[in-house]
Homo-oligomer: A and B are copies of this chain.
Amino acid sequence: MSTAVSPLAPTDVPDMPVIAGVKLATAAAGIRYKGRTDVLLALLDKGTTVAGVFTKSKCPSAPVEWCRAKLKGAGSSKGLARAVVVNSGNANAFTGKTGKQSTALTAQIAAKAVGCSTEEVFLASTGVIGEPLDATKFDGVLATLAETATPDHWMDAAKAIMTTDTFPKVATATVKLGKARVTINGMAKGAGMIMPDMATMLSFIFTDAPLSAAVLQSLLKTGVEDTFNALTIDGDTSTSDTLLAFATGAAAANGAPKITRASDPRLKAFTKAFYGVLADLSEQVARDGEGARKLVEVVVEGATTKPSARKIAMSIANSPLVKTAIAGEDANWGRVVMAVGKAGEPANRDKLSISFNGIRVAKSGARDPSYNEKEVSEAMKAPKIEIKVALGLGKGRDRVLTCDLTKEYITINGDYRS
């Protein structure tokens, strides 16, 4: 298995500012391996609101079920969070009843360390599945982390949640909310599916903006649609995918207005910046796709509707034949036609146009007569490939990110036993 950093890793890594109300600490709890940093604790000031979106898997992990229950939970702590515990090494998925006990015990240990209710503790796990997670390993560790947490640990935190990621993924934005400057920090992990067990996409977003939990949930729900939900590495969905957002509200001290309605016009710039952080992180996940050598952007326009465009774009982005062609630097538009055809959405073969990195290779249902093989071959060497399909039917447009499919993906996931 290769440990080299993806050739698509961003060269420009931001300095992560502090977020008032958030403190971070990491440790090696020996979850799976000794001496490897595998736990992240994020401490959140009182009054921090929380929102989350999760895997659509019908077989979710125990931590996903825990978070869902806490978000729905009634009582005074509803929509509030004081701590997030993230571990790598063990996903606590498909662990039966012991999985549930394990999340409860982890939350108890964290609640005691932080001095809060278990209702205010959020959990995420990634790593091997089907193995019991021994939560007693957090005993002592979380108490130490709670004491030593500092506001400036962002890069270490992003590293602590990595599994087979080849680089840590962080993004940040500052933006005006009312007359105050507020900050949004995010981190993510994910690289397709993780050898030798289960893939997971985890992401955590923090802001000092004073947002109600409902506003935060609305931002997340809309924000993922064109970012994390418009991303595919291999069409496989983890049982553990988790995206949590936290708003400490600390910027209220600087005059930031408290936002309680998602439709509040003062939220406009913030919303844009928030989506920008989600988009940045999700693109980084595509750039770290297992074995990826090319970032692929699939744009479908002229579909009957946007959902129809999404379905067609996903069909193209998930096609092994399209992805292997891109790996081979082959502008194989025949395979793109195939993927359009199998999507089951309205399409008229004789109106289809297809281009690669701006060079049209097919139009009106046949090869573009002006298509120059040499020019296209040259364009296909670029590290980023845009496949654009124009259907010529309506105004539906959408965009999906993915990566190519290389032998390295098979090496990473094939776990060849010798």
A342, A362, A414 — most chain B CB neighbours (10 Å): A414
**A337 and B59 contact, CB distance less than 8 A:** yes
Q: Does B328 lie within 8 Å of A416, measured CB to CB? A: yes
B residues in contact with A236, CB < 8 Å: 319-321, 335, 338-339, 342
Within 8 A of B (CB), among A50-65: 55-60
Q: Give A88 Cβ to nearest chain B Cβ, in Å.
A: 15
The answer on a CB contact under 8 Å between A366 and B405 is no
- Asked whether A225 is an interface residue with its Cβ less than 8 Å from the other chain, the reply is no
A350 to B57, CA, bound (A): 14
Q: In the complex, A411→B345 CA distance in Å?
A: 30
Closest to A411 in B: B407
Say yes or no: A342-B410 contact (C-beta < 8 A), given A94-B334, A197-B334, A234-B320: no
- Interface membership of A367, Cβ < 8 A: yes
Known: A345-B58, A347-B58. A198 touches B329 (CB 8 A): no
Q: Which residues of B lie under 8 Å from residue A96 when comparing CB positions?
A: 350, 364-366
**Interface residue A413 (Cβ < 8 Å from any Cβ of B):** yes
Interface pair B347/A417, CB less than 8 Å apart: no
- The smallest C-beta distance from A47 to any residue of chain B, in angstroms, reads 35
Q: How far is the CA of A150 from the CA of B330 in the complex (A)?
A: 42
Q: Does A129 contact B (CB under 8 A)?
A: yes
How many monomers of this chain does the complex have?
2
* Residues A130 and B347 in contact, CB atoms below 8 Å apart: no
Flag if A338 contacts B238 (CB, 8 Å).
yes
Most central of A196, A236, A345 by chain B CB within 10 Å: A236
Inter-subunit contact A342/B57 (CB<8 Å): yes
Residue of B nearest to A237 (CB): B342
How many residues of A are counted as interface, with CB atoms below 8 angstroms from the partner's CB atoms?
Answer: 72
Q: Are B58 and A332 in contact (CB under 8 A)?
A: no
Residue interface mask A233-246, B partner, CB < 8 A = 1: 01111110000000
Q: How far is the CA of A23 from the CA of B196 in the complex (A)?
A: 54
CB pair A237–B413 under 8 Å, yes or no, is no
Decide: A337 and B411 in contact? CB cutoff 8 A.
no
| Cross-interface CB contact of A415 among B95, B325, B347, cutoff 8 Å | B325
A411: chain B residues at CB < 8 Å are 407
Docked CA distance A415–B404 (Å): 13
Contact indicator per residue, chain A 30-74, by CB within 8 Å of chain B (1) or not (0)? 000000000000000000000000011111100000000000000
- Which single member of B56, B338, B410, B417 contacts A407 (CB below 8 Å)? B410
Q: How far is the CA of A97 from the CA of B366 in the complex (A)?
A: 9
Within 8 Å of chain B (Cβ to Cβ): is A226?
A: no
B340–A58 contact, CB under 8 A?
yes
Q: Which residue of B lies closest to A412 (CB)?
A: B324
Minimal Cβ-Cβ distance residue in B for A343: B58
Is A203 an interface position by the 8 A CB rule?
no
User: Contacts of A129 on B, CB cut-off 8 Å?
Assistant: 334, 337
Residue A122 is within 8 A (CB to CB) of chain B in the complex: no
A417 close to B330 (CB less than 8 A): yes
**How many angstroms between the C-alpha atoms of A409 and B324 in the bound complex?**
9
**Complex interface: chain B residues within 8 A of A392 (CB):** none
The answer to whether the Cβ of A80 comes within 8 Å of any Cβ in the partner chain is no
- Complex Cα distance A335/B193, Å? 9
Any B CB within 8 A of the CB of A327: yes
**Chain B residue contacts of A193, Cβ below 8 A:** 320-321, 335, 338
Q: Apart from A94-B365, A130-B334, A198-B334, what are 16 other A-B pairs with CB-CB below 8 Å?
A: A58-B344, A58-B345, A59-B337, A59-B347, A59-B349, A94-B337, A96-B366, A130-B366, A131-B367, A196-B332, A236-B338, A237-B338, A237-B342, A325-B415, A332-B415, A377-B417
Q: Nearest 10 CB-CB pairs, A to B? A: A57-B341, A59-B341, A96-B366, A237-B342, A328-B414, A324-B413, A328-B415, A129-B334, A59-B349, A96-B365
